[in-house]
Amino acid sequence: MDGKEFITVILPLRLAWNPWYAAGGHALVRGSRVRVTFAGKTYTGVVDQLEAEPQVDVTKIMEINSVEDLPPITEEELALWHFIARYYLCTVGEVYKSAYPAGKIAVEQAGSRNRERLEARLEKRRDMLRKARRDSTRERYAAEIAALEARLAGAVRKEPDFASIQLSPTQSDALSKIHKAFFNNKIALLHGVTGSGKTELYVQLALETLAQGKNVLYLVPEIALSRQLEDRLSAFFGDRLLTFHSGETIVHRRDVAATLREGSYVVLGTRSALFLPHHDLGLIVVDEEHDSSYKQDTAPRYQGRDTAVMLGSIHRSHVILGSATPSLESLYNCRSGRYVLVPLAEKYHGGNAAGIEIIDTIAERRKRGMTGSFSRKLIGHLDRTLQTGGQAVILRSRRAYSPVVQCAECGAIPKCPNCNVTLSYHKDTGRLACHHCGHQEAYTGTCPSCGGALQPIGAGTQRIEEELQALFPQARIARLDSDTAQDKHREAQVIRDFAQRKTDFLIGTQIVTKGFDFEGLSLVAVLQADALLGQQDFRADEHALQLLEQFRGRCARRGDDGLFVIQTAQADHPVYRQLTGTAASQDFIGDLLAERQAFGYPPYSRIIVLVCRDANLPRLETLTRRLADELCAAFVIRPTLLAGPLQGSVQLTGPYAPPVDRVAGQHIRHIRLILRKDASLSANKQLLADTLARFEKESRYAGHVFPDVDPA
């Protein structure tokens, strides 16, 4: 090879292999960032293998263009990327692209150039100070030098107070069990009822970790939770606390990554914080571990909770998962001995769980007990809450003013031209919007088909807000949903105002059910709760119960009485019976696990959905049928039309159209595989990957099929 050193480079592309390059005499380490040309385009890549053995003609291998003046990717980061790529059946290039998008790299490069300029200015000022003769001049140069040194070193960081916080006897007992789990190299699952003080335990563990000279990653599922926790945690960790999520500017996120390399830290962030250049990681906290927001819905489709466990294994750090309603997968891991269950059944401030009232809206309508979306019973509860100085949160799972508009004459319902979904009416902007692709058009109130009048059908959060304001004109009302959350300052203000009791009633989508802690909250209510049930998913009842229990736990957190009101047309649904303690069986978790085992569903199996997309519908249907046939031949199985008990090691269903079968002009078909967790699981997963790769190559269908491992 003429003494040349060859390397493989990870590119931010969906490539099944990493291309080879010649090092060109550059001194490289694994993780070095290099500039290379691939298929006529230039990319910033990451060196994966040194002294690689090329499997192509070496005379055709190009040299790298240059070495970027950027910090190398750490060995731990590379290990995590490869782990994710193997487990989630994606490419390491897709993981790299997610961890280091082009914008982030550009800001890193700009930051590197800015640092060089600052260092040059600093050296020039030092030289001028040495030559200065007047005291006033020397003082001025000394002040400028100090300012430049501070900018290069970052802001002076306040040391955290390593003193222990005050724990209740119940919390101290839980802490002891967590320490024992960590000592035995086990993952701890903290199952604490809402208001039991899980956060205090996380803080205590984080303080202990920092005192040992190690660092902490504290994950939450939503940006809004991060913003509320930030003030609370900064009191303990000072400037060691760093926030990282997509709501922050890209410059802020670059600065966080740079700060991580300088010293000790506690990072508070959403799932993207997993991809930071962590070092000396001693503790990973995954709060609200059951939350489906931890699942990434675009490539790489990783699960944040499970990836955190992977990261903990790579860093040999302790991992604690916490929730008032743990996922069945985590509870199963406790039963199998992989995790240690740590119960925390007592509220930190005492008191009982909020009472529950189920309001049958069908019965209420029969006796004219409804005013718009609100029952008279709920209106009475809201009035009493307002009169006594309390606060209420109202959940409606659909945003916008109305999720549907329909023509009163011909019955036509406007749909998105790019997606097979109805358009939602946003009254505040006077527009119809698609909540899948973002398409918008003006709302004229006139049917485009016959000229009849379009009428809003159903109520979203905007309409609920309008109805509530009409019922209580004196009340201070705010709304929190993905529309208001688009402006991070507005979102933060809504949360802050409610926490400071400047708002009486807060209306929102599922975001309001998450782990917020509002001292004055005494009433929570769900409108049209049936929308939370009946999802086409085997996890529907589990997710509904988790959401309702979480929402119930938002009130009565300070020992005061609280009330949870559910308005529903299915008052006798098993989920409500379980919630109120009137179910025939009180072992809901055991019943669900037994049902999952009987049908071969997770956690007793692994589900992989092949998401197939194509703008050409006939081609999509032809090739997805061919792919299903090839998979059946590879696994020696027959396809199933409907889901049923898993008979062998592999079950394949499809191709079939999902409920939303066209998004942004792309038609969608799914092929679902269930792989039993037995001795053949690893081999079956590899067979799936090999068959899919061969199909894409032979059919020239690359870029149309995306595996989704462990779909939410």
Q: How high is the pLDDT of residue 558?
A: 57
Q: What is the CATH number of the domain that holds 611?
A: 3.30.70.600
Same domain? 206 vs 339: yes
Locate 169 and state its tokens: 């006897």
CA distance 611 to 478: 38
**How far apart (Å, rounded) are the C-alpha atoms in residues 615 and 126?**
63
- Which of the listed residues 293, 324, 344 is the one where a domain comes to its end? 344
Residues 79 and 115 in one domain: no
Beta bridge partners of 284: 217, 319
pLDDT at 162: 54
Same structural domain, 561 and 516 = yes
Mean pLDDT score, 453-466: 92
Mean pLDDT for the stretch of residues 212-227: 92
pLDDT above 90 coverage of the chain, percent:
64
Each as own residue / partner, the long-range contacts of residues 118-123 (CB below 8 Å, 24 or more positions apart, any chain) are 118/148, 118/151, 118/152, 119/152, 121/148, 122/148, 122/149, 122/152
Query: pTM of the entire structure?
Result: 0.87
Tell me what the mean pLDDT of segment 395-405 comes to. 90
- Residue 96 or 647, more confident: 96
10-64 pLDDT, tens digit per residue, is: 999 999 899 999 999 999 999 999 999 999 999 999 999 998 889 889 889 999 9
Nearest to 75 by CA among 278, 313, 282: 278
Q: How does residue 701 score in pLDDT terms, banded at 50, 70 and 90?
A: very high
Whether residue 640 lies inside any domain: the answer is: yes
Over the stretch 169-209, which tens digit does the pLDDT of each residue have?
999 999 999 999 999 999 999 999 887 889 999 999 999 99
Across the range 346-369, mean pLDDT stands at: 85
* Helix, strand or coil, per DSSP, at residue 221: coil
Which residues, 6+ apart, have CB-to-CB distance to 558 below 8 Å?
195, 349, 351, 519
Place 258 in a pLDDT band, splitting at 50, 70 and 90. confident
Contact 501, 392 (CB under 8 A): no
Q: What is the pLDDT of residue 608?
A: 97
430-467 residues labelled b (16+ CB within 10 A) or e (exposed): eebbbbebebeeebeeebeeeebebebebbbbbbbbbb
Query: 591 lies in a domain?
Result: no
Instruction: Give pLDDT, residue 156.
Output: 43
Residues 478, 329 share a domain: no
Asked whether the beta carbons of 78 and 48 are under 8 A apart, the reply is yes
Sign of the four-CA dihedral 434, 437, 440, 446: negative
Structural domains in the chain (count): 5
Return the number of other C-beta atoms located less than 10 Å from residue 79's C-beta: 15
Rounded Cα distance between 672 and 30, Å, is: 38
| Structural domain span for residue 447 | 355-586
What would the 3-class secondary structure string for 639-659 be? CECCCCCCCCCEEEEEEECCC
Cβ atoms within 10 A of the Cβ of 544, count?
23
Question: Are both 521 and 545 inside the same structural domain?
Answer: yes
Which residues in 255-281 are b (16+ Cβ under 10 Å) and which e?
A: bbbbbbeeebbbbbbbbbbbbbbbeeb
What's the whole-number mean pLDDT along residues 464-480? 96
Can you give the pLDDT at residue 373?
Answer: 95
3-state secondary structure 261-314: CCCCCEEEECHHHHHCCCCCEEEEEEECCCCHHHECCCCCCCEHHHHHHHHHHH
Does position 157 have pLDDT exceeding 60, yes or no? no
Nearest to 256 by CA among 401, 380, 157: 157
Strand order in the sheet with 318-323: 241-244, 266-269, 215-219, 281-287, 318-323, 187-192, 339-344
Say if residue 146 is in the same domain as residue 190: no
Q: How many helices (H) and strands (E) does the chain have?
A: 19, 30
Q: Report yes or no: 299 and 94 within 8 Å, Cβ to Cβ.
A: yes
When comparing pLDDT for 548 and 150, which is higher?
A: 548
Largest CA distance in the chain: 94
DSSP assignments along 78-109, one per residue: HHHHHHHHHHTT--HHHHHHHHS-HHHHHHHH
Per the structure block, which two tokens stand in for 502? 């400047």
Residue 454: strand, helix, or coil: strand
Q: Which helix (H) or strand (E) holds 609?
A: strand 605-614
> Does residue 62 sit within a domain?
yes
Answer whether residue 149 shows pLDDT above 80. no
In a domain, 596, yes or no: no
pLDDT for residue 559 is more than 60:
no
Q: Which of 344, 368, 389 is the last residue of a domain?
A: 344
In a domain, 128, yes or no: yes
Residues in the chain: 712
164 assigned to some structural domain:
no
Q: For tokens 């769900």, name the residue.
A: 526
CA–CA distance, 389 with 474 (Å, rounded to integer): 13
Q: Please, what is the average pLDDT of the chain? A: 90
Give residue 160's pLDDT: 54
The answer, yes or no, to whether residue 458 has pLDDT greater than 70, is: yes
User: Residue 160 domain-assigned?
Assistant: no
Residues 81 and 115 in one domain: no
If asked whether residues 213 and 328 sit together in one domain, one would say yes
pLDDT of residue 223: 87
> Same domain, yes or no, for 91 and 135?
no
Same domain, 25 and 56: yes
180: domain CATH number is 3.40.50.300
Torsion of CA 235, 238, 241, 242, to 10 degrees: 120
Q: Is residue 507 part of a domain?
A: yes
CATH number of the domain that residue 12 is part of: 3.40.1440.60
Report how far residue 551's alpha carbon sits from residue 354's, in angstroms, rounded to the nearest whole number: 10
Confidence (pLDDT) at 642 = 61
Name residue 507's beta-bridge partners.
394, 479
The pLDDT of residue 643 is above 70: no
Last residue of a domain, one of 542, 559, 586: 586
Tell me: do 196 and 337 sit in the same domain.
yes
Closest-CA residue to 207 (of 184, 235, 245): 235
Domain co-membership, 289 together with 396: no
pLDDT greater than 80 at residue 577 = yes
Q: Which DSSP state fits 403? A: S
**Residue 155 pLDDT > 50:** no
Q: Give the confidence band of 567 by pLDDT, cuts at 50, 70, 90.
A: very high
Confidence of residue 2 (pLDDT cuts 50, 70, 90): low
